[in-house]
Chain A
Amino acid sequence: MIKNNMRMICAVFICALFFSSPAMADDSALPGTVFTAIMLKALSYDRNIDRQGKDKVVIGIVSPSDDAVAQGFASDIKDNITKVQSSFQLKGKPVDSDLVTLDKTFDKGKFSDQLKQDNVSVLVVVVSDAASVGNILEVTKQLQINSICGTPGCAQNGVGLEIIQTDNKPHMLSNANSIKQEGSDYNSKFLAMCEVVK
Chain B
Amino acid sequence: MKILFRLALVGLFLSGLGFKAFADNPTADVNQMVNMSLEDLMNTKVTSATGRSENMNDVANAMYVISKEDIERSGARNVADLLYRVPGLQIRQIDSSQYGVGIRENGAFLTDNILVLIDGAVVFNPLFSGVTWEDLPVSLNEIERIEVIRGSPGVLYSSNAVNGVINIITKAADVKDNYVQQEGGTQSFRDSSIGVGDEKIGSTGLAFRAYLDNQFSQGFPKNSQNSSTIPGSFSDRYLSDRDGGRIDYTPSDHQRLSIIANNNQENSNTPNQETGGLTKTPGETTSAIINYTDKVTDRYDYSFHFDHVEMLGTAFNSNDAIVHVTSVNTQQNFHYDLFGSHVSSVGGELRYNDLHVTDMSPTTIFDGLVTNGQASQKVISFFAQDEYRPIEKLILTAGVREDSNSLVINEKPLYSPKASLLYHLTDNQSVWISSAKDYRTPSFLDHDLAIMGAAPNSYYPGYPGYYITGSTNLKPEANMTQEVGYRSLLLDQKLKVDATLFSTEVKDVIDFVDTSFSPPSTFNNGSLSTKGAELALDYQYNNDLSFSTDYSYLYPHMKPETSNTPSTVGYDTMASNNIVGIGTRYTLNKFKFDLYGKYFEGYTAGNTKIRGYYKTFMRISYDFVTPRCLGKLDSTVYLDVDDALGARQIEDSGNKIYMKPEVMAGIKVRF
Contact = CB atoms under 8 A, between A and B. Distances in A.
B41 A33 contact: no
Contact of A165 (B23, B295, B306, B350): B23
A182 B634 CA distance: 20
A25, A36, A41 — which one has the most chain B CB atoms within 10 A of its CB? A41
A70 interface: no
Interface string A30-47: 110110111011101101
Contacts of A80: 30
A193 B294 contact: no
Interface stretch (B32-40, B129-137, B392-400, B478-486): B32-40
A70 to B, nearest CB: 19
B254 A22 contact: yes
Contacts of B199: 195-196
B146 interface: no
B41 A38 contact: yes
B253 A168 contact: no
B631 to A, nearest CB: 11
A17 B254 contact: no
Contacts of A20: 255, 294, 296, 302
B457 interface: no
A26 B22 contact: no
B247 to A, nearest CB: 14
B384 to A, nearest CB: 20
B22 A170 contact: yes
Given A23-B254, A38-B42, A33 B19 contact: no
Contacts of A191: 176
B128 interface: no
A34 B33 CA distance: 7
Contact of A189 (B254, B350, B670): B670
Contacts of B354: 1-2
Interface stretch (B8-16, B152-160, B503-511, B551-559): B8-16
A68 interface: no
Contacts of B326: 2, 5
Contact of B295 (A44, A87, A88, A167): A167
Given A12-B328, A40-B34, A87-B543, A167 B296 contact: no
Contacts of B168: none
B347 to A, nearest CB: 13
Interface string A183-198: 0000111111101100
Given A23-B252, A169-B19, A193-B175, A13 B634 contact: no
A36 to B, nearest CB: 6
A131 interface: no
B33 A33 contact: yes
A181 interface: no
Interface of A is mostly: mixed
Given A9-B306, A13-B304, A21-B296, A34 B634 contact: no
B252 A17 contact: no
Contacts of A137: none
B460 interface: no
A88 B544 CA distance: 9
A83 B30 contact: yes
Given A20-B294, A191-B176, A195-B199, A36 B30 contact: yes
B328 A34 contact: no
Interface in A96-124: none
Interface residues of A, number: 54
B34, B39, B352 — which one has the most chain A CB atoms within 10 A of its CB? B34
Given A1-B376, A12-B328, A168 B24 contact: yes
A88 B32 CA distance: 11
Given A20-B255, A20-B294, A33-B33, A192 B41 contact: no
A166 interface: yes
Interface string B34-53: 11111101100100000001
B257 interface: yes
Contact of B543 (A13, A88, A166): A88
Interface string B288-306: 0010101111000010101
A34 B41 CA distance: 8
A18 B447 CA distance: 42
B252 A170 contact: no
Contact of A34 (B12, B28, B39, B350): B28
A168 B23 contact: yes
A16 B589 CA distance: 50
A157 interface: no
Contact of A41 (B37, B177, B255, B352): B37
Contact of A168 (B11, B21, B290, B306): B21
Given A16-B12, A192-B175, A25 B254 contact: yes
Contact of A187 (B30, B35, B306, B634): B634
Interface of B: 8, 10-12, 16, 19-24, 28-31, 33-39, 41-42, 45, 53, 175-177, 199, 252-255, 257, 290, 292, 294-297, 302, 304, 306, 324, 326, 328, 330, 350, 352, 354, 376, 542-543, 589, 623, 625, 633-634, 670-671
Given A2-B324, A21-B296, A36-B30, 16 more contacts: A9-B10, A10-B10, A13-B12, A13-B292, A16-B292, A17-B12, A22-B252, A23-B254, A25-B252, A83-B31, A87-B543, A167-B253, A168-B23, A188-B671, A191-B176, A192-B176
11 contacts: A2-B324, A23-B252, A25-B254, A38-B42, A40-B34, A87-B542, A167-B253, A168-B19, A169-B21, A169-B45, A192-B175
Which 5 residue pairs across A and B have the least CB separation, nearest first?
A37-B33, A168-B21, A25-B253, A41-B38, A168-B19
